[in-house]
Amino acid sequence: MINKLTAALAVLALAASNAPAAPASSGAVVIKIASIAPERSPWGKALEKVARDWERISNGTVQVKIFPSGIAGSEQDVIRKMRLGTLQGGVFTSMGLSKIEPSVTVFNIPLLFHSAEEFSFVFDKMKPAFEKKIEEKGFKIILWTQAGWVNFFTKKEVIFPGDLKKLKISVTDNDPEVEQVWKKMGFAVVPGDFKDLMVQLQSGMVSAAYLPPLLAGSGQYFAVVPHMLSMTLAPLVAGLILSDKAWASIPADLRQPFIASIDEASRGLFEEAQALEADAVKMMKENGLIVHDPPPAALEEWRQTAAEGVRDLIGSRFSKETYDQIVGYIQEFRKTRGQ
């Protein structure tokens, strides 16, 4: 249900350096990494540092070239080019990762997780199994972490699910299965590419979107959809992956130092993103955004509505066993905290 959300997050949370790469020295291993994101985000700075560190650690025998801002195409395009060998890596959101391993979609179920701490607990438990599945498809996950949250932004006040059903929601146009889930739940959806979202909103084709607050602010979408439901829909995960062939091309003695440099560069990324998100909401409120807090009855109705959508995804995008395992970890987390 939230592939469009993850595409939006990629524009905010993941990035790469726009600076021209130095020519590769003769015999150097060249790792070309694509991202659909601009460069001035916390993740962008982290990736720039990683590129410098890898070249320093390897004494120039491994060089990283970055293709930012979507110049290499969509996440699906990048996956195809990695399989062809024209790219060696990509910075992906859940949308891209789900194109490799559909079961990743389970992490983005709306309203399943109630807090960042809860999601982090479950994510850490489930990561090894998902990483194995992705690696079986020919890719190596170098970094995989939570990257933020998303909210509904609408032209009119929305408190209950019935309020949203009166509006037209923009959804991704490359996932018919998810589009059908929305429709089965009774929502009116309009497929489209994310780059066309502002045109959709301004023309009246759609009157609702689900976006990370940082993007809603930086992209000025809130000026067209000035109502935000404070209830966070779902966490977003993002990561850096390389093709198996690219990872194998890196000398074995450099792999652990490379991973260590990524761990160092990525420290505090989520916390920094959270701070920026809070600043974005404050700025938007100062400029006309109206934030609505759903009462308990509305929150319960939203959760029941989301559960209806989950039923249509079990068995098609992820197994019931995987879903039940995640629910079990959620219950374990809440029990240990008396929830």
| 3 vs 316, more confident | 316
pTM of the full structure: 0.82
Residue 37 and residue 52: Cα distance in Å, rounded?
19
Residue type for 170, please? S
Number of domains in the chain: 1
Residue 161 and residue 306: Cα distance in Å, rounded?
10
The 3-state DSSP class for residue 192 equals strand
225-246 confidence digits (pLDDT tens):
999 999 988 888 888 999 999 9
Q: Are strands 235-243 and 168-172 parallel, antiparallel or unpaired?
A: unpaired
Q: At what angle do helices 269-286 and 3-13 cross, to 10 degrees?
A: 100
Output the pLDDT for position 322. Answer: 95
246-259 confidence digits (pLDDT tens):
999 999 999 999 99
DSSP 8-state class, residue 250:
S
Q: Given a cut of 80, is residue 16 above it in pLDDT?
A: no
199-235 confidence digits (pLDDT tens):
999 999 999 998 889 889 988 999 999 999 999 888 8
Domain that holds residue 293: 3-336
Residue 155 and residue 230: Cα distance in Å, rounded?
15
The 3-state DSSP class for residue 169 equals strand
Q: Given a cut of 50, is residue 54 above it in pLDDT?
A: yes
Share of the chain above pLDDT 70, in %: 92
Output the pLDDT for position 10. Answer: 44
39: left (phi over 0), alpha (psi -120 to 50) or beta: alpha
Phi, psi dihedral angles at 10 (to 5 degrees): -55, -35
Output the pLDDT for position 46. Answer: 81
Output the pLDDT for position 13. Answer: 39
Give me the CATH number covering residue 193.
Answer: 3.40.190.170
Reading the block at residue 206, the tokens are: 């759609």
Output the pLDDT for position 300. Answer: 93
Output the pLDDT for position 17. Answer: 33
Confidence of residue 81 (pLDDT cuts 50, 70, 90): very high
Q: What is the rounded average pLDDT of the residues 15-37?
A: 62
Q: By the 8 A CB rule, do 45 and 13 touch?
A: no
Which element (helix H / strand E) includes 263? helix 252-266
| 268 vs 53, more confident | 53
Q: What is the rounded average pLDDT of the residues 13-33?
A: 57
